[in-house]
Structure formats: structure tokens, C-alpha cells
Amino acid sequence: MSTPSGIPKGPVDGPVELAFTSLDQFVREYLSQVIHRRLNRSVQLWCPEWWRHSEAVARLSVMWRAFEYLRQVDPALGMSTWWLQHADPHLRALMHPQYGPFVACDPRDGHGDMQPGGLPAVPAPDILMAHPAFALQDEDLEAVVPQPLSAQRPERSTTDTDSTAGKAKTMDKDHGREHGG
């Protein structure tokens, strides 16, 4: 769905035709063909068996999903957004020679045997689960589901001049709050 200017308004209606039907296909037929880097233990790392690294699978999966989404909803700028906001930061993290998930691998020799373990984590006390920072309730999900921009911005109305400060104030129609300007 597009506006008269050709800018997409939202997700594509109807069935989406994927450019790559699996993560493996995306990595083998796109990333490995498009991304050419100098690989060595001190500059950047890559593991040919990337699928053996849970962090790599997680990051590459979101890169693939973002790629498929952005190429559909924003044909004009979607791929630029994908490179700058998704591919570049994820690839930097994945390929970092000291901190990335491929730290025990060699770009030519492959997957190393001495892989680092996961982050240590102790379960949080049950009492913390009642705090909103630790759990989402069904009603909390409404707050994280994307809404149209018009629904996210409070409608503003009357503008009055504050005689003491000389600043314009705007009343928020929905909540009756003043906003200084």
C-alpha cells in the first residue's frame, strides 16, 4: 500500500514473496556473495559453520527478517536502512576478533573446539516478577505493539502565552497537561 508519492504506508497486503526462503539460503546466496572482507584472527572473523553459534543464528535471523521486510515496505530506502541500521552493526558484532561469537574460530580452518560459554545467569527472585521491568502482562503488550504515528502523538490544541515567562504553552487535549514551548 503506497501513498500517491510512492512511499509505502505500512506492511504489504497479501502474500509476501520472499527473496530468500531460509536463513541458510540468505547467508549462502546473499551475504557470502555480497560481503567481501579481509578475514584473519586480528581484523575480522567469520566461521564457515556459522550455524553452530547461537548468537550468530540469532543475529543473522533478524538481519534476514529485516531484509525481507524492508525490501517490501520501502523499495526506495529500505535497503539503505537495512545496511545502516541492521547489517553494519550486526556484522561488526559478529565479526569482532576479540568479542564476537566466532572468537575461537578461524576464517579458513573453521569452527574451533574451545568455544566460549554463554553468559552466566542466576534466576531472578520470584518477587521481582511482579515488577513491570521483569515481566510483561497482557495489557503491557498493547504498549509495545506498533501503532500508527497519529495514535502515538497526543493531539495539541490551544496555545496561550505565559505572561510571566513569555513562552507559549500548549494544552494536551487528551491529558490536560501543559507543555512549554
Q: How far is CA 160 from the centre of its chain?
A: 40
Task: Report pTM.
Answer: 0.62
pLDDT at 79: 96
Q: How far is CA 12 from the centre of its chain?
A: 19
pLDDT at 140: 59
pLDDT at 127: 80
Q: What is the chain's pLDDT, residue by residue, as a tens digit (181 residues)? A: 444 444 444 455 667 789 999 999 999 999 999 999 888 888 899 999 999 999 999 999 999 999 999 999 999 999 999 999 999 999 999 999 999 999 999 877 778 888 888 878 888 788 877 777 777 666 656 665 555 444 444 444 444 444 444 444 444 444 444 444 4
Question: Hey, which residues does 179 pair with through a beta bridge?
Answer: 170
Q: What is the DSSP string of the chain?
A: -B-TTS-B-SSPSS----S-SSHHHHIIIIIHHH-----BTTTB---TTGGG-HHHHHHHHHHHHHHHHHHHH-TTTHHHHHIIIIIHHHHHHHH-TTTSTTTT-BTTTB--S-PPPPPP--PPPGGGGGSTTT---HHHHHHHS---HHHHSPPEEEEEE-TTT--EEEEETTT--EEE-
pLDDT at 146: 56
Kindly state the cell numbers that stand for 154. 497526543
Task: Give the C-alpha separation, 80 to 86, whole Å.
Answer: 10
